[in-house]
Amino acid sequence: MDCAKGIAVVAGTGRPIEEFEGVDRIDRPGPPLLCVPTTAGSSADVSQFAILSSPGRRLKFAIISKSIVPDVSLLDPDLLCTLPPRLTGSTGLDALTHAVEAYVSTGASPITDLFALSAIRRLATFLPLAVQHPGNAVYRNETMLASLEAGLAFSNASLGAVHALAHSLGGYLDIPHGICNAILLEQVVHCNFPYAADRYRAVSAAFGLEVWQQSSEVVCAALVDRISSFRRILGVDQTLADCGLTPEDIPVLTKNALLDPCMATNPRVPDEEMVRRCYERAL
């Protein structure tokens, strides 16, 4: 779907796609765009984001514009019933990351909050069931609805450091985006938590954790542990080292991540030390 968005941009402007990297740089509309998602994960069918790979630079770059919000999105849960369990898990974890990052984003609003928390609740309940019972259309419908909700949240509230780090990492080592998000989410939550503690408490409650009588330190540890165990239940149990990352790669990944536009709405103003620590803890 992101490829289709890129094709629409080039068709409408006649210019190379790299010229539109960044925010609100598209000055001409493309042809009508109809999207039919076949995973419950990316939410590209309702978002103003397109993430494209630049092999020459070994990174993924973002195009963010209302001009690439699709005209029509058709959701059919039956299309997900042949999705393999591992892909179900990794794409669902992408949707979870969208919801969490949208909720703690500095661009969040009461409307995006409704969608983000609902998506977290649905995924916490139904994503493991969809992995275990891939042919069940009811479970697939719930995960697809959660992906839609998460997409409506992040397309309006934007994202944060998890996606910035994931774009840098995924483009550099050609790792699937959902896997990158799944591994990095717990690390970024740990670093961000003191800067949005009340928001992360609400995320924890949506995950089914008891949080309101607990200290911030306890809630942070419980949420990080919940995310870690949740991704492992879904079959995403590798480290970044397992994916081929070495300590020598971290400086260039850090540099690219800090330039990603998703950093603009992270609850903590990111710096080199924070980004480097997140990559190192995920090795």
pLDDT at residue 245 in the model: 95
Total domain count for the chain? 2
For residue 243, the model assigns a pLDDT of: 95
The residue among 45, 73, 101 that closes a domain is 73
CA distances from 147 to 43, 210, 255, 283 (A): 6, 25, 30, 28
In this prediction, residue 208 carries a pLDDT of 94
**Residue 8 sits in a domain of what CATH number?**
3.40.50.1970
Domain co-membership, 156 together with 273: yes
Give the Cα separation of 42 and 228 in Å (integer).
20
- Give residue 54's domain range: 2-73
Enter the pTM of the model.
0.94
Task: Spell out where the chain has E strands.
Answer: 22-23, 34-35, 49-54, 59-64, 72-73
The ranges of the chain with pLDDT < 50 are none
Torsion on CA atoms 17, 105, 274, 186, rounded to nearest 10: -100
Residue 141 and residue 217 in one domain: yes
35: β partners:
73
| Confidence at residue 175, expressed as pLDDT on a 0 to 100 scale | 92
- Closest to 124 (Cα-Cα) out of 150, 93, 98: 93
Query: Does one domain contain both 166 and 124?
Result: yes
Same domain (yes/no): 7, 114: no
> pLDDT per residue over 92-139, tens digit each?
999 999 999 999 999 999 999 999 999 999 999 999 999 999 999 999
Q: Do 121 and 200 lie in a common domain?
A: yes
Residue 166 is predicted with a pLDDT of 96
